[in-house]
Amino acid sequence: MCHKNIKIISSTKEGSLIKCECGSYTFKFNNIIFEFTEHELRSFKKYLMKINVDYWENQCICNITTCRKIPIITSQGNLLLIFNRLEFEKIKKIIFPNKKSNFDLLKYKDLQLPICKN
């Protein structure tokens, strides 16, 4: 990324999608960073839309809701990224910022401030 005249396309607590004036895109999610050309970003979007979350959640015998079961396959043969449903939805929220999601509502655990329960 050239760090000149960047445009923030979307940003959340977990990550962001940024476009640089050189035409490259940087997608950050927690501790993962992807750099895409415009064509690669379009391909990544298509790939995300094809992933059947329900299928992958049913393939794993782990019944814990935070268990990571949803794969994003990379072109590097020895690297597979896996996410749980919430993480996957947050990735989609960054990549598709204008789409509505069921995870848009603020939850108690999302608050970083101490709360008095009185």
Q: Which residue's structure tokens are 């999608």?
A: 17
Confidence (pLDDT) at 101: 55
pLDDT tens per residue across span 2-13: 666 889 999 999
The stretch 14-35 carries a mean pLDDT of 93
| CB-based contacts of 44-48 (< 8 A; 24+ apart in sequence) | 44/95, 45/95, 45/96, 47/72, 48/72, 48/91, 48/92, 48/95
Q: Give the rounded percent of residues in the chain with a pLDDT score beyond 70.
A: 74
| CB-based contacts of 82-88 (< 8 A; 24+ apart in sequence) | 85/53, 85/57, 87/14, 87/29, 88/51, 88/53
What are the extents of the domains in the chain? 7-35+45-101
